[in-house]
Amino acid sequence: MSKVYIFYNPLSGHGKDPLDREKMKSFFGDEECVFCDMTAPETYGKTVSEIAEDDKLVICGGDGTLNRFLNISEDVPVKCRILFYPRGSGNDFARDLGKEPDKEPFDITEYVQHLPTVTVKGKTCKFINGIGYGIDGYCCEEGDKQRASSDKPVNYTSIAINGLLFHYKPTTATVTVDGEKHVFEKAWLAPTMNGRYYGGGMNAAPDQDRLKNDTLTVMLFHGAGRIRTLAAFPSIFKGEHVKHTKMVTILKGRDIKVEFDSPRALQIDGETVLDVKEYTAKAPTK
């Protein structure tokens, strides 16, 4: 009889919302459910290799959890269908697919077969949503600091506003797309997107289709001062920032390199990397 392997991250949602096992079992009727803690070393390798083709694998967690699973499990390919049960703090992957957190798990097999890669500081990994670089990376960096020193929820909106008004300094960005170089002064944001959403609901690339990701989208927020940038910034949550053509540039390509003239924090599906001067993103080969 087939089994349902439920991989869960006890640290998702900052570890404050334990997985409801009985609710998870109710989704699968009489099928046997096997719960696997994704922070346990044996979950990757031994457990994944035991999963049969007619089993199901459910990933429970946030976008960062899904990202880590897809990268770590690459050495032991998953033979069965993969489902996702979003319960993170951002849930941009589910948002892009029109799914709500804590509802029934949904099949994501087709969405994780061909993923783009990003190379940062000599390390290459897959990503599912986007690479955040600029003030979004700064927000992740500051959020990590706050989380390490306090149990209070992190207010990323407050961090972003204070950063735009006072603390974050824009850079000069050099963006090379399929060999063509572009230079942007006062760059505030320079993400490369596989999906439409990142950063907890920012619709950075409204026209990006993750199933047709033969090209990626790089979006530049640039050229304006603090007040004008702050005034336009909220429009990114509805994807209407693209109307601000004097301060927003959209480029598409398969091979994208972004360089800043001074190091900044970067985030990959919500996971922070500090002191980055450049990254390279590549569309998947299908």
CATH number of the domain residue 221 falls in: 2.60.200.40
Q: Any idea which residue has 């392997």 for tokens?
A: 5
The CA distance from 188 to 164, in Å, is 9
Are 251 and 133 found together in one domain?
yes
Q: What pLDDT digit, counting tens, does each position of 7-21 carry?
A: 998 876 555 568 899
In a shared domain, residues 152 and 252: yes
Task: Clarify whether residues 104 and 124 are in a common domain.
Answer: no
Query: Among 93, 111, 129, where does a domain finish?
Result: 111
Domain identity same for 126 and 249: yes
Q: Is 229 within 8 Å of 221 (Cβ atoms)?
A: yes
Rounded to 5°, angle at Cα 165 from 219 and 197? 30
pLDDT confidence of residue 245: 95
Count how many domains the chain has.
2
Question: Which residues lie closer than 8 Å to 249 by C-beta, 6 or more apart?
Answer: 182, 184, 219, 220, 222
What backbone torsions phi and psi does residue 104 show, to the nearest 5 degrees? -65, 140
Looking at the structure, do residues 131 and 267 belong to the same domain, yes or no? yes
Find the farthest-apart pair of alpha carbons in the chain and give their distance in angstroms, rounded.
62
Domain stop point among 111, 131, 159: 111
**pLDDT per residue over 207-263, tens digit each?**
999 998 899 999 999 999 999 999 999 999 999 999 999 999 999 999 999 999 999
The highest-confidence range among 33-37, 173-177, 208-212, by mean pLDDT, is: 173-177
Greater pLDDT, 213 or 168: 168
Residue 89 gets which letter from DSSP? S
- pTM beyond 0.85, yes or no: yes
Q: Which domain holds residue 85?
A: 3-111
pLDDT recorded at residue 43: 75
Q: In whole angstroms, give the CA distance from residue 173 to residue 278.
A: 9
* Residue 16, pLDDT score: 59
Is 129 in the same domain as 97? no
Last residue of a domain, one of 111, 135, 153: 111
Q: What are phi and psi of 136, to 5 degrees?
A: -70, -40
What is the band of 117 on the pLDDT scale with cuts at 50, 70, 90?
very high
Q: Are residue 229 and residue 252 in the same domain, yes or no?
A: yes
Strand ranges, E, within 17-80: 32-37, 56-61
Same domain, 133 and 26: no
Residues 6+ apart with CB under 8 A from 112: 66, 70, 82, 128
- pLDDT of residue 142 exceeding 70, the answer is yes
**pLDDT at residue 15 in the model:** 56
Tokens representing 111 are 């969405």
For residues 34 and 121, membership in a common domain is answered with no
List the Cα angle 251/255/256 in 5-degree steps. 55
Check whether residue 122 and residue 218 sit in a common domain.
yes
- 253 touches 228 (CB < 8 A): no
Residues 97 and 123 in one domain: no
Mind giving me the DSSP string for 125-170?
Answer: EE-SSEEEEBHHHHHHHHHHHHHHH-SSPP-HHHHHHHIIIII---
User: 39 falls in which pLDDT band (50, 70, 90)?
Assistant: confident
* pLDDT at site 2: 87
Same domain, 127 and 191: yes
